[in-house]
Amino acid sequence: MNNLITIEELSKEEIENITDLAESFKKGRYANHQTKHAALIFFENSTRTRFSFECALNRLGAHPYIFDNSKSSTSKGEEIFDTLNNLCAIGIDTFIIRAREENLFSELMKNEYYKPVHFINAGMGKTAHPTQALLDYFTMREKMGDVKNKKIVIIGDIKHSRVAKSNTALLKKMGANVVTCAPSYFREEIEGVVFEENLDKALSGADVVMCLRIQNERLEETISREDFIKNYRINSKNFPKNAILMHPGPVNRDIEIESELLNSKIGETILNQAQNGVYVRMAVLDKIFNGGLV
């Protein structure tokens, strides 16, 4: 495990190993990677993921460096490969990147660098967000023990969601029954995943309800928020009894989920996800720093 770009490249055993390691970090496991230097390069805005990685690096004793794109040489026209190669020569050995482009990682990894480097995908366009899927799985595993044969319902903007794609890839590997639910304008067919347009039918018997943010920055068309709220918002009346409520954040209050539910005990799992993100990213970084060995 020299890089982490997609969930698809991980085996079921590797997923379990990462979440086992994350659990051990949560219980107090110690690691010291003070010789490691990682650059956080975010070409899209981020709060949870960026701070989570930065916190994980600090807890591991590694050194995080924040890349400000607006003040970097890329804003002067330098190619991103040349920027990264110079950072590599300076001493950076790990690049944690959030990118709009779907093929950025494949292009960057074709090149030879000043010294060996590692890449971690912190969110790529509309297609992949592997550490989010891993932390979501870790949270589900904590709450339920196992996701095999559990019904996981993902609701909202499936079309533009890298979280949905990575989660479905992971959950299918682990034997979950995944259902996506969305209005037609957010629908996207995913192999091996059941689609249900009717919210009540989708929620019936759900063990986990994961809501997704409407990604206004990626919309190609105007949508009716009123229609979405009326037909797809999760509230205290339609939320399945004993189910787990999840959301990758940020939550648009009273659009995807009503505030009353968010502020209740049920909404606490969303904060658990944020907390678990640090431990999962510690595990990913630890494995990569150790050459894939635990």
The pair phi, psi for residue 228, each rounded to 5°, is -65, -45
Cis peptide before 130 (omega within 30 of 0): no
β partners of residue 210: 154, 246
Q: Are 162 and 123 in contact (CB under 8 A)?
A: yes
Q: Which two tokens stand for residue 135?
A: 């932390």
Measure the CA–CA gap between 176 and 246, rounded to whole angstroms.
16
The three-point CA angle 67-69-74 to 5° equals 110
Longest Cα–Cα distance of the chain, Å, equals: 58
Q: How many CB atoms lie within 10 A of CB 127?
A: 14
* Residues 278-294 as b or e (16 or more Cβ within 10 Å = b): bbbbbbbbbbbbeeeee
In this predicted structure, what is the pLDDT of residue 262? Answer: 96
CB 56 within 8 A of CB 84: no
Residue 125, phi-psi category: left (phi > 0), alpha (psi -120 to 50), beta (remainder): left
Tell me the whole-structure pTM to 2 decimals.
0.94
Tell me, what's the pLDDT at 216? 61
Q: Are 24 and 279 in contact (CB under 8 A)?
A: no
Distance CA 27, CA 163 (A): 27
Q: What is the pLDDT of residue 70?
A: 65
Question: Residue 1: its pLDDT value, please?
Answer: 81
- pLDDT by 10s per residue, the chain, length 294: 899 999 999 999 999 999 999 999 999 999 999 999 999 999 988 999 999 999 999 999 999 999 977 656 665 566 999 999 999 999 999 999 999 888 899 999 999 999 999 999 999 999 999 999 999 999 999 999 999 999 999 999 999 999 999 999 999 999 999 999 999 989 999 999 999 999 999 999 999 999 998 866 555 566 678 889 999 999 999 999 999 999 999 999 999 999 999 999 999 999 999 999 999 999 999 999 998 665
Contact (Cβ atoms closer than 8 angstroms) between residue 212 and residue 256: yes
Is the four-CA dihedral 1, 59, 136, 160 of positive or negative sign? negative
Q: What is the pLDDT of residue 68?
A: 79
- In whole angstroms, how far apart are CA 165 and each of 160, 170, 214, 237, 284? 9, 9, 15, 28, 19
